[in-house]
Structure 1
């Protein structure tokens, strides 16, 4: 339906103008009376993934469409009122391969948010979009330095939610940038259509860039594709309190039979200079009343909220040929009472950027070290196409 709408829009271009359309930037339109604009884009990722341990008799592998997205954005009525809609079409996007985790949630809509610039440096966001949490989650899956995000993100990120967000940006001194964000949201994740249970989710974040703004929003782009001419640094901290959530990871995970308060803390930093980039993140999640919701008759954990901490460190260098080599170390340390095993991962990545992050081929090899189990080796190869 949305592709047909885009084609219809092209066919009625007499009432509109087309400007700045090129590969990776989507189709861009502005109404003849400048009352609205629309940028339409699409992207997909083709992934091969294989892995095995020493005790496995054969390779475990698969080929899939990791992500497939439609994106619409622009302004409505005034350039000060912007909007963004993003839809996920692949099974991984909408959760069709894990139905038990998505009760009452279709998960097709990723983003549907209006952003009002009501005063200089101030924006009010209304709708569903990413919460101001850890840096790696806010970075688009199109603009990652590796094939996919780290174990820290998959276990502890606070993802998307529906509600209100307030963002403020201002300059400190001659070049430093300070940003503050706050959000009040449902606390149950995206596309939940039933009445809210428990309480709401409250998020706050502060970010400081002492050396000035990154080129091309590079503080939230993997790798230093802009090849920063001067050193750039971003440091951020975020806190989320999810009041009486009923999902095992707050805004994500299985729907459980009871509720718990969850508190999440994130600290991260990003540095870039002349092709070199590095990022560090720490995440910690706690449940003040304890993560275990219920146990079986023999005392084993039956329902549990995932708590603990994780650390992620990665760095890479982009050569002038647009080949990039990068390394990543991630440590995941769940609370012992959850019955979940900890894990360390060592990843080496190799990427070729053909048209920036819009057309690229990425590969990585990961060693997964999990106590009490054989080491597991994983290889991934992925192509990204974004129009």
Structure 2
């Protein structure tokens, strides 16, 4: 699929013109932060269009060289479409990524550049009350931090745990169910997908990917789905807790991190376990995650003449813990600790990261400025200091 910024601009202008010309035939529910929303006069379909971008400054300094390296960039730029068709029980979501960081530069096996414009393209059918079938490409039910939108994070970006071990997006089927026993809410999710990641256009080289997730909310639902956005913006009046576990088995994948990373010369099966939790109460929020990934047949694919791995799947364990407090002025302070321990056979360097963040929420997660400072300790290397500040604008 050939798509660029010029094409995105034309699409945006077309949608705006369409929205203006159809106001007489539809009901407009537009609101800042909620996008342009239209429902057909006969209620046969709805459309919500929204756009967002993140403008990021980042700089880092090595303790030895003392040289400051920095840059400005559009970290993310997105177009989002969702709504229902035919019946409110059949909804859809399409999300396109336009920035270079969104598109990526993964290479196909034939060394053509991978087309990563499409992030989400999924239909969700409520087959029965609280039982949903998802069909298409979207995020897998892996670690909580990855499923939380990049718009709704507590820090400038996700943690090192997520960077190394998340499942990301994939094309396939997901079955989701929720039920309640008294106050306790239970959610079960199962999926089967390609295992090759998003927008792969070649045949599946190995097997499929199988994921299962169980979530338990012992104190009932969070306000406004707060278990899947960071910071207690809605200031829970009573304590809320969600704990969950995910299991993923990617059979004979060819990428170094399963759905992500570079293509390797041989396939391996990967087994990944996630355990995570979210807690919120009166402006205080905390989230913790643990990841464990193994390759039962060994992660190393190729080594040099000296025995150093030249191709390896990324395996090991990681822990991420973070907490923050949102003041009534909508300023928030937060801290995060992350440690990543790679499998010894990979000879990848272990890392620890300590981060302190300060954020100002102007209109929730739709208009905010976030900054964070990190100390990054890498095994056998010198420590590094990182500073980032980012503006998020979502219409």
TM-score by length of 1: 0.97
Q: Which residue of 2 aligns with 1:357?
A: 365
State the distance in 1 between where 2:266 and 2:112 align: 15
State the distance in 1 between where 2:94 and 2:383 align: 41
Tell me the alpha carbon deviations over residues 79-104 of structure 1, each in whole angstroms, 9 at most, x when there is no partner. Answer: 000000000000000014x6689855
Q: What does 1:211-290 correspond to in 2, within 5 Å?
A: 211-290=219-298
- Aligned: 1:339 with 2:347: yes
Moved more, 101-110 or 260-269: 101-110
- Aligned-partner SS, 1:194: coil
Q: Which residue of 2 aligns with 1:382?
A: 390
Shift of 1:172: 1.2
1:372 to 374, 380, 383: 380
* Pair 100,61 (structure 1): closer, same or farther in 2 beyond 3 Å: farther
- Aligned-partner SS, 1:208: strand
Gaps of 5+ in 1: none
Structure 1: 4+ residue segments shifted above 2 A: 14-20, 98-105
- Aligned-partner SS, 1:278: strand
**Native 8 Å contact 1:307 1:334 kept in 2:** yes
* RMSD, matched Cα: 1.3
Tell me the alpha carbon deviations over residues 263-320 of structure 1, each in whole angstroms, 9 at most, x when there is no partner. Answer: 0000000000000000010000000000001112222111100000000000000000
- Aligned-partner SS, 1:34: coil
- Aligned-partner SS, 1:373: coil
Shift of 1:11: 2.8
State the distance in 2 between where 1:351 and 1:300 align: 43
- Aligned: 1:316 with 2:324: yes
State the distance in 2 between where 1:16 and 1:228 align: 39
Shift of 1:8: 2.7
- Aligned: 1:141 with 2:150: yes
1:205 to 210, 213, 216: 213
Q: Which residue of 1 aligns with 2:303?
A: 295
2:88 to 52, 76, 79: 79
- Aligned: 1:160 with 2:169: yes
Q: Which residue of 2 aligns with 1:330?
A: 338
Shift of 1:257: 1.0
- Aligned-partner SS, 1:267: strand
**Native 8 Å contact 1:156 1:249 kept in 2:** yes
- Aligned: 1:125 with 2:150: no
**Native 8 Å contact 2:357 2:372 kept in 1:** yes
Tell me the alpha carbon deviations over residues 196-247 of structure 1, each in whole angstroms, 9 at most, x when there is no partner. Answer: 1100000000000000000111001010001000000000000000000000
2:202 to 191, 194, 208: 194
- Aligned-partner SS, 1:212: coil
State the distance in 1 between where 2:16 and 2:64 align: 53
Q: Which residue of 1 aligns with 2:51?
A: 42
Q: Which residue of 1 aligns with 2:3?
A: none
State the distance in 2 between where 1:142 and 1:227 align: 19
Q: Which residue of 2 aligns with 1:68?
A: 77
